[in-house]
Structure 1
Amino acid sequence: MGIGTSIFLLAVGAILTFALNASIGGLDLNVVGWILMAAGVVGLIMTTLVWGRRRQVVATTEEPVEYRRVEERRDVAPPL
């Protein structure tokens, strides 16, 4: 589940819990909203953990093979 999906679940859950005052035969929309918000929070935490592991920087001790100094000359016309 991505960050966007998690935020969407949080938003829909909050709307069902706090904004709507309706009931559908035997289904409590407040409970459904809380469940969706919980799923969104869990998804957001899991996504953060997965992306956090992927973005670890691996340091290498090798130096670049070659360094070059680049100079820009302004007296030569650019190629066409």
Structure 2
Amino acid sequence: MGIGSGIALVVIGAILVFAINVDTGGYVNLDMIGYILMAAGVLVFLISLVLVMRRRQTDSVARTTVDPATGDRVTRRSVSDNDPIV
């Protein structure tokens, strides 16, 4: 969701800067608002990308035992994910 929000902010900011040419009487500078929205969009996009790409922590455990009935070695592997579900 953050990646899409960042892209949307960049697009809205670019529209305000490059596509809209409206005189607001000096009260509001639409170009400055557009540049601020584009900068905020890039920041949101990068933060979201870092959070998505971070490495997950996993623990892998292997236990080897001998089956008493057949005498074969039995290996059991389990993997647990320590990353909380958000």
Question: Normalized against structure 2, the TM-score is what?
Answer: 0.63
Stretches of structure 1 that go unaligned for 5 or more consecutive residues are: 67-80
2:10 is the alignment partner of 1:10: yes
> In the alignment, what sits opposite 1:39?
40
Q: Which moves more between the two structures, 55-64 or 28-37?
A: 55-64
2:5 partner letter: T
Stretches of structure 2 that go unaligned for 5 or more consecutive residues are: 64-74, 78-86
> In the alignment, what sits opposite 2:76?
65
Q: Distance in 2 between matches of 1:23 and 1:61?
A: 67
Q: Distance in 1 between matches of 2:61 and 2:3?
A: 34
Greater fraction helix: 1
Superposed CA RMSD: 2.3
Secondary structure of the 1:65 match is strand
After TM superposition, which residue ranges in structure 1, 4 or more long, deviate above 6 angstroms? Answer: none
1:39 partner letter: A
Name the count of aligned residue pairs: 65
Q: Distance in 2 between matches of 1:62 and 1:15?
A: 56
> In the alignment, what sits opposite 2:24?
24
> In the alignment, what sits opposite 1:74?
none
Q: Distance in 2 between matches of 1:24 and 1:42?
A: 28
